[in-house]
Amino acid sequence: QVQLQESGPGLVRPSETLSLTCAVSGYFIGSGFYWGWIRQPPGKGLEWIGSIFHSGYTHHNSSLKSRVTISVDTSKNQISLKLNHVTAADTAVYYCARLVTLTRGVYHWYFDLWGRGTLVTVSS
Amino acid sequence: QSALTQPPSASGSPGQSVTISCTGTSSDVGAYDYVSWYQYHPGKAPKVIIYDVNKRPSGVPDRFSGSKSDNTASLTVSGLQAEDEADYYCSSYAGSNSLMFGGGTKVTVL
């Protein structure tokens, strides 16, 4: 059974860097798939942050691109998110998820597995 | 990138049907058949219930169905059950390896 578990500080000060990791169990991330980060600010909808292939190839939401770094560590079987220069607007529940883009030669674009998310509050 | 537009709430009695819309543009929903829907119960991980507009993952009841017309996708839940009370989010591929989500719809089973 594949499971994803987000972790990281629950409180980050404004202007600092938010750092989260997503530990994947039950599946070796080096075997394939894109892995993504999604967030949900309080009372708002979901927002795609970015995705990374197991090889390290990344895509980012253009509205966040300059502040976002997504990386993969196959030795630890985890992906990471760094968001710098945070403000209160970055307060959200952050989710990691597995992105299905290609199966048996057919293209898709959906997240088939999600973590439960972790709340990050930006406040002084 | 603006979020896809969903109604904030929808409701129905047990056994009835409820349909949720998800409106995008000709650059996302209208351009690709890569619309997905997610069910979210607070405290749990979101769960995909529809992908590729109208396909159901294994284990998802056939009470859930999806469709698309032009720039609007729809999720229909037929035969509403108490456990269907949840938040539902749509998502669409938006080109250039990017994705968009909707604002979410809270479904209440009366």
Q: For chain A, give the mean pLDDT.
A: 94
Please compute the mean of the pLDDT values over residues A102-118 and round it to a whole number: 92
Residue A98 predicted with pLDDT over 80: yes
Nearest chain A Cα distance for residue B2, angstroms: 10
Residue B1 predicted with pLDDT over 60: no
Please compute the mean of the pLDDT values over residues A89-97 and round it to a whole number: 97
Q: Which of A45, A51, A115 sits opposite B102 (nearest CB)?
A: A45
Q: Do A116 and B44 touch (CB under 8 A)?
A: yes
Give me the pLDDT at residue A55, please: 85
Point out the least confidently predicted range of A37-41, B23-27, B29-33, B94-98: B94-98
pLDDT category at B103 given cuts 50, 70, 90 is: very high
Q: Which of B1, B36, B51 sits opposite A61 (nearest CB)?
A: B1
Q: Which residues of B touch A115 (CB under 8 A)?
A: 45
Task: Give every CB contact of residue B56 below 8 A, 6+ residues apart in sequence.
Answer: B49, B50, B62, B64, B65
Q: Which residues of A touch B73 (CB under 8 A)?
A: none
pLDDT category at B48 given cuts 50, 70, 90 is: very high
Residue B3 predicted with pLDDT over 90: no
